[in-house]
Amino acid sequence: AQSVTQPDIHITVSEGASLELRCNYSYGATPYLFWYVQSPGQGLQLLLKYFSGDTLVQGIKGFEAEFKRSQSSFNLRKPSVHWSDAAEYFCAVGGRSGGGADGLTFGKGTHLIIQP
Amino acid sequence: GAVVSQHPSRVICKSGTSVKIECRSLDFQATTMFWYRQFPKQSLMLMATSNEGSKATYEQGVEKDKFLINHASLTLSTLTVTSAHPEDSSFYICSALDRGLINYGYTFGSGTRLTVV
């Protein structure tokens, strides 16, 4: 069964500092990997996704993520955070099986706090 | 980009009544949609996969008779919470799969906050 681990429940970063959010996954086939951001009471916004090809993926809002198959990781990074980045971040894994598409399995999320 | 509209955004209902939540893909055809449930300060849990024109596939532990899913068209899936009870209060989010060659991916609705009193 697939699973996603986000080991950090909360992360506090100073505004302007760099950020890395960790994500490890377990998936039986070729994974499709995603990072989403959620503001309180809102739906999910896609930051970036990885299906294949270049393992360094660029997303919106200055975020990037690197797929490392050997480590089963897909960590999210941003060189300089802004106060507006404070939110809940979810890593998710999905894929295709039997000709269909799997629903996504989400990690528990990382709550990002930005200090002034 | 792909847009998914979910309505209502908030609903309060009395215990024992039923509530219907709609999920529409606005600019693409979604043969597959997904329904998730999110408890406060927790992650999203997949409830069911909805395929147009066929029965939904429910995840283990999800009561199919309580959470009725209908996917009658390529742009609309509905979730009906039947005989709702306070423990059904939660945040429900739908997602539509865009199978386009360029835009392949999952787009989420803005969620529905259900409160059963």
The band of A97, judged by pLDDT with boundaries at 50, 70 and 90, is: low
Question: Which of B43, B99, B107 is the best substitution to test chain A (most A C-beta atoms within 10 A)?
Answer: B43
* Cβ pair A42:B111 closer than 8 A: yes
The residues near B34 (Cβ < 8 Å, ≥ 6 apart) are A103, A104, B46, B48, B49, B50, B94, B95, B96, B97, B106
Model pLDDT, residue B100: 77
For residue A34, report the phi and psi dihedrals to the nearest 5 degrees: -140, 150
Model pLDDT, residue A43: 85
Model pLDDT, residue A99: 52
Model pLDDT, residue A98: 52
Cα of B49 to nearest chain A Cα, Å? 7
User: Cα separation of A3 and A13, whole Å?
Assistant: 27
Task: Name the residue in chain A with its Cα closest to that of B46.
Answer: A103
User: Cα separation of B23 and B3, whole Å?
Assistant: 11
Nearest residue, CB atoms, A107 vs list B43, B97, B108? B43
* Cross-strand partners of B93: B36
B31 touches chain A (CB under 8 A): no
pLDDT digits (tens, 9 = 90+) for B42-53: 899 999 999 888
pLDDT digits (tens, 9 = 90+) for B57-91: 999 999 999 999 999 899 999 999 999 999 999 99
User: Cα separation of A74 and A67, whole Å?
Assistant: 5
Q: What is the largest CA-CA distance in chain A?
A: 49
Cα of B17 to nearest chain A Cα, Å? 24
pLDDT digits (tens, 9 = 90+) for A47-91: 999 988 899 999 999 999 999 999 999 999 999 999 999 999 999
Return the closest-CA partner of residue B74 out of B26, B107, B29, B34. B29
* Cβ pair A103:B111 closer than 8 A: no
Model pLDDT, residue B70: 92
Model pLDDT, residue B83: 97
Model pLDDT, residue B115: 97
Whose tokens are 């996969």? That residue is B49
Average pLDDT over residues A18-44: 91
Model pLDDT, residue A2: 84
User: Cα separation of A109 and A9, whole Å?
Assistant: 6
Of residues B61 and B1, more confidence is placed in B61
Of residues B115 and A31, more confidence is placed in B115
Model pLDDT, residue B9: 96
* Cross-strand partners of B47: none
